[in-house]
Chain A
Amino acid sequence: GIQVEQSPPDLILQEGANSTLRCNFSDSVNNLQWFHQNPWGQLINLFYIPSGTKQNGRLSATTVATERYSLLYISSSQTTDSGVYFCAVAMDSSYKLIFGSGTRLLVRP
């Protein structure tokens, strides 16, 4: 099956710093989503981005489908950005999301 690898596994930043999270996947996908899991466990949609670039405030994402990777950029990080960020993909018109193991981000004041 498709493999999804996220890096780095852990990241500690000072408030105001920028960061880049990476997601590599092993096969062609028709869905790629980035999520932020809040402290209560809910997955918050950040981006639906099977290809191309999108921006939403301080967050942006780029997926290069031909090279099978996606990047999530967080600029001017805030303590509220802390949590776990997941990349998830699906193949072949399927709704079966395969998740990476996540990047745990801690932003210190």
Chain B
Amino acid sequence: KAGVTQTPRYLIKTRGQQVTLSCSPISGHRSVSWYQQTPGQGLQFLFEYFSETQRNKGNFPGRFSGRQFSNSRSEMNVSTLELGDSALYLCASSALSATYEQYFGPGTRLTVT
């Protein structure tokens, strides 16, 4: 079974631009979560989607948004990029079974200049 995939793997953007990152979960997984990793703040939860609905949201400004499609693929968008948005963005999927185990993709490394 293929793992979680994320595209693109690397991205360079300029301040003020917007960016869209994509995540395809493991086949059959319906929950998708997004995390941001920075050297200063560590790994932080952004949001979680299930059945195209956002169920949980972390403490991030409204510039960070996401959505989930009917095939469980998810996208996250960051508008009006700031230098501090430079980070590794990780996506995780879960099967919503008896366990809550999450599996992570390889990440998208975003650099804002």
Interface size class of B (residues with CB under 8 A): 20 to 34
CB distance from A85 to the nearest CB of B (A): 12
Instruction: Say if the beta carbon of A56 comes within 8 Å of chain B.
Output: no
Q: Which chain A residues (29-43) contact chain B, with CB distance < 8 Å?
A: 30-31, 33, 35, 40-43
B103 proximity list for chain A (CB < 8 A): 45
Q: Is A19 an interface residue (CB 8 A)?
A: no
State whether the Cβ of A58 lies closer than 8 Å to any Cβ in chain B.
no
Which of the residues B37, B45, B48, B56 comes within 8 Å of A41, measured between beta carbons?
B37
The secondary-structure label for the interface of chain B is: strand
Q: Known pairs A30-B100, A95-B100, A99-B43. 18 more at Cβ < 8 A?
A: A31-B102, A33-B101, A35-B104, A41-B109, A42-B106, A42-B107, A43-B104, A48-B100, A94-B100, A95-B55, A95-B56, A95-B102, A96-B48, A96-B56, A97-B33, A97-B92, A98-B45, A102-B42
A positions within 8 Å CB-CB of B: 30-31, 33, 35, 40-43, 45, 48, 86, 88, 90, 93-99, 101-102
Q: How far is the CA of A18 from the CA of B66 in the complex (A)?
A: 43
The 9 closest A-B CB pairs, nearest first, are: A99-B43, A31-B100, A43-B104, A48-B101, A42-B106, A41-B107, A96-B45, A95-B48, A96-B56
Output the least CB separation between B71 and chain A (Å). 19
Chain A residues within 8 Å of B8, by CB: none
Chain B residue with Cβ nearest A35: B104
Per the bound structure, the CA–CA distance linking A90 and B48 in Å amounts to 13
